[in-house]
Amino acid sequence: MKNPIYLDYQATTPLDERVLDAMLPYFRDKFGNAASRNHAFGWEAEKAVETARGQIAALIGADAKEIVFTSGATESNNLAIKGVAEMYREKGRHFISAPTEHKAVLDPLKRLEQEGATVTLLPVDKTGQVALADLEKAIRPDTVLVSLMAANNEIGTLHPLEAIGKLCKARGVLFHTDATQGVGKIPIDVERMGIDLLSLSGHKVYGPKGVGALYVRRRNPRVRLSPQLDGGGHERGMRSGTLNVPGIVGLGKACEIAGAELASETVRLTNLRERFLAKLRGSLDEIYLNGHPTERLPGNLNVSFAFVEGEGLMMGMSELAVSSGSACTSASLEPSYVLRAIGVGEDLAHTSIRFGLGRFTTEAEVDFAAERVIAAVKRLREMSPLYEMAKEGIDISQVKWSPTEH
């Protein structure tokens, strides 16, 4: 077993060897510019790009012509949101989203708000889902875009894309989904789900970093976007810049593999996840699963461990590469805004850990990880007077602390 064990697949995924093999020739002799129309180097690169476009489209039920290459999901989200805002400014300037979205959605929306647009963030329930009735009520005549993610990167909660898409269609509002965590992990079909714009990223699907795509619907309705990068008119004028051919080849291959293995990986990872959770629950009390119990990413487990200190817990299981609910916004020790939005109290948010399982996670790793977590939590609780009091039946929230004891 490798040490530390990588359990942070929602942060990034390792590059699949098969993807690397597909990319390597495009770093060496097949170095052509896909926009070079006059010679074989260009044609070869263009052909590889078109193959990748088809592989990506096939995974999400789209047409190859509807795929626009970008530098990643952050850029895709920016292009979708700002591109729609500019293009449909005459129609209206109202946007709908949710507080649990990735910053790459929330920050572009914040920018639009500063420029005079109105943004409604729908409430989410304690699992992290929005209510369709709330969405329906929020749509106004001047609403141009609903942006709701396919799967949450922290708590793994899935949104009911098909129901959301149907509602948007019925009300004539465009539907964008940040599907960075969902693509290749859960079935996605832009036709059946009524998705008009969809963001995805290479490095979350065992492909390379720095490459992504935006799906832009071409009919029923034809979605138009104001480009956010001008120059050269690549990608049907929506995103200029010389294409990252090796990266695009890798993204295409990664999507092909993800599609072929989606069904078997869903079963395998769901089993591993439930095995992990059952082990934790079998040995520890006072632990809380964050996110939805079933409507969640197969490879995501987010758990709060009451009566332990977050930093101590992280140090106590240094053999595991995981993410904590307080370290998410990098240097700050603020608890995660996603956990806050679903009503997790500050104390529990600070002791929450995201375990991300993926393609190369084995049963032996899961068993080892569960053992380490259980040992670390038990050790910390042995030193915790609060845990002892709780065990004795004292309701800690009712305890009146005497100021002299502090």
Catalytically annotated residues: 328
Question: Which of 75, 76, 44, 82 minimizes the C-alpha distance to 60?
Answer: 76
Q: How far apart are CA 43 and CA 366, in angstroms?
A: 46
Q: How far from 133 is each of 38, 122, 163, 195, 314, CA to CA, in Å?
A: 55, 10, 11, 19, 40
Alpha helices in 207-362 (DSSP H): 245-283, 310-316, 337-341, 346-350
Which one-letter amino acid corresponds to residue 222?
R
Q: Least CB distance from residue 6 to ligand PLP, whole Å?
A: 16
Answer for which of 8, 46, 66, 178 binds ligand PLP (CB under 6 A) is 178
The C-alpha atoms of residue 39 and residue 49 are separated, in whole angstroms, by: 16
Least distance in Å: CB of 75 to ligand PLP? 7
Query: In angstroms, rounded to a whole number, what is the distance separating the alpha carbons of residues 85 and 93?
Result: 7
Q: By CB under 6 A, name the one of 102, 185, 253, 354 that touches ligand PLP.
A: 102
* Nearest distance, CB of residue 178 and ligand PLP, angstroms: 5
Tokens 């190369």 — which residue?
Answer: 360
List binders of ligand PLP among 323-352 (CB under 6 A).
Answer: none
Closer to ligand PLP by Cβ: residue 178 or 235 = 178
Distance CA 48, CA 30 (A): 10
**In angstroms, what is the minimal distance from the CB of 63 to ligand PLP?**
23
Site for ligand PLP (CB under 6 A): which residue of 100, 143, 157, 181? 181
Choose the binding region for ligand PLP from 72-80, 189-197, 314-322, 332-340 (rule: CB under 6 A).
Answer: 72-80
| Coil/strand/helix, residue 148 | coil
Least spacing, CB of residue 135 vs ligand PLP, in Å: 19
Whichever of 22 and 149 has its CB closer to ligand PLP, that residue is 149
Which residue's CB is nearer to ligand PLP, number 223 or number 328?
328
CB of 100 to ligand PLP, least distance (A): 10
End-to-end CA distance of the chain: 45
Integer Rg of the chain from CA: 23
CA nearest neighbour of 218 among 83, 54, 62: 62
Taking CB under 6 A as the rule, which mask of x and - marks residues 182-201 in contact with ligand PLP?
-------------------x
Is residue 74 involved in binding ligand PLP (CB under 6 A)? yes
Residues 23-62 that bind ligand PLP (CB under 6 A): none
Q: Of residues 137-156, which lie at the interface with ligand PLP (CB under 6 A)?
A: 149, 153
Q: Which distant-in-sequence residues (6+ apart) come within 8 Å of 391 by Cβ?
A: none
Tell me the window of 82-90, 111-119, 174-182, 236-244 that interacts with ligand PLP (CB under 6 A).
174-182
Sole window of 66-74, 226-234, 273-281, 346-354 interacting with ligand PLP (rule: CB under 6 A): 66-74
Among 7, 57, 60, 73, binds ligand PLP (CB under 6 A): 73
Among 165, 207, 212, 246, indicate the residue that binds ligand PLP (CB under 6 A): 212
Q: Is the dihedral of CA 23, 40, 50, 245 positive or negative?
A: positive
Label residues 40-66 b or e (16+ Cβ within 10 Å = b).
eeeebbbebbbbbbbbbbebbebbeeb
Least CB distance to ligand PLP at residue 149 (A): 6
- Binding-site ranges for ligand PLP (CB under 6 A): 72-74, 102, 104, 149, 153, 178, 180-181, 201, 204, 212
